[in-house]
Amino acid sequence: MAGRLEESDRRVVFEALEPRVLLDGNVTAKVVKGKLRIRGDGGDNGVEITQGADLNQFVVTPTGSTTVNGLSDPAILNNVTKNVVVHLRGGDDELTALDFQAPKGVIVNMGPGTDIATVQSGWAKAGVMVRTGLGPDNLSISYSQFEGWFKVNTGRGDDWVGCRDVEVDKLCRIVLGPGDDVGNFNAIDIGGRTRVNTGPGNDEFHIYDTSPTMDNNFRGRFRLTYGNRRGADFLSIDNATFHERAKVKMKQSSADVMMKRVNAMKQLELRTGKRADTVTLQESVFDQQLTIQLGGGWDNLTVDTLTTSGGTARGGKGEDTLDDKGGHTGAPLTYASFEIIA
């Protein structure tokens, strides 16, 4: 499917879009009091949004057999001075937004169905918000900058969200709904707070960096919380800097957590849930206190080549294993409540 990541040793790469459905239906596009409103009809709509001749002109082009305002030709919309609002409603829809500069925000509601939304080389003064509905959905955002907020909320279904080379000046909020979801941050720079929440299901979230020009930087407080129902969840962070306090909390799920080449400039706290968890920290720097609290279950903690300024790592109620491979510098961690020392 479009933009999905293929895994190899739990590393991920982008894959090209593949043809999926025969797009049809009619999309209406009009400017109302400065707002560009684009609305689907419940069919399998396909539409592409691009910049026009100036910053206040947009071009809405139908794809497949879809029409825009009843015509197969692109619609040119002028005098856009406020938000771009897209609501495609039901059906298996495809939305592409390319090379645009939005005078305010971009607000997208894909509706129920198996949907694909792609945002590439975009800029928005206020920010971008995308909501998907019931069904397995695919959202890809790349090479874009948002001066305000960036918000994503997926609905029920097995969803995929990928962000690559994206800059956000203020708040970033990602909510992955019920289902087996995958989230990917590849070379992301967030100026404000970052909040990531996953729902019930077997979820994965990856933070990594393959960009030659950008690094992962979280300049505000960072908080990632995995869902409140049982599942088998996976978190990998490879090459990221947290400028403010960071907290990762796995609730009732069985978790596999891998952190490598992390630079935490303030306190970092990691808590796991009630089931069996595996936590690995490698080649990372923690400038302030590092706190690890393992929950119930038979858990495993591996630490390898860390630079720390003190902190604690505690086992939970189960029979927990500590594997300290050494190679550390700085003030050592204090270990407690580990029944097995590997």
pLDDT (mean) for 216-226: 95
**Average pLDDT over every residue of 46-72:** 96
Q: What is the mean pLDDT of residues 270-286?
A: 93
Query: Residue 13 pLDDT more than 60?
Result: no
Q: Give me 138's structure tokens.
A: 């695919």
DSSP secondary structure of 105-174: EEEEE--SSS-EEEEEEEEESSEEEEE--SS--EEEEEEEEESSEEEEE--SS--EEEEEEEEESS-EEE
Asked whether residue 48 carries a pLDDT value surpassing 60, the answer given is yes
Choose among 172, 209, 206, 167: nearest CA to 187: 209
Q: Report domain extents, the chain.
A: 35-40+82-341
* The pair of three-digit structure tokens given for residue 301, joined into one six-digit string: 């903690």
Do 172 and 193 form a contact (C-beta atoms < 8 A)? Answer: yes
What tokens appear for 137 in the block? 């959905």
Q: How confident is the model at residue 314 (pLDDT cuts 50, 70, 90)?
A: very high
Mode of pairing for the β-strands spanning 321-324 and 300-309: parallel
Tell whether the model's pLDDT for residue 11 goes beyond 60. Answer: no
Q: Quick one: pLDDT at residue 16?
A: 39
Q: Which residues contact 340 (CB under 8 A, 6 or more apart)?
A: 319, 320, 321, 322
Q: What is the pLDDT of residue 214?
A: 86
State the first-to-last Cα distance of the chain, in angstroms, to the nearest integer: 42
What's residue 303's pLDDT? 98
Per-residue model confidence (pLDDT) at position 255: 85
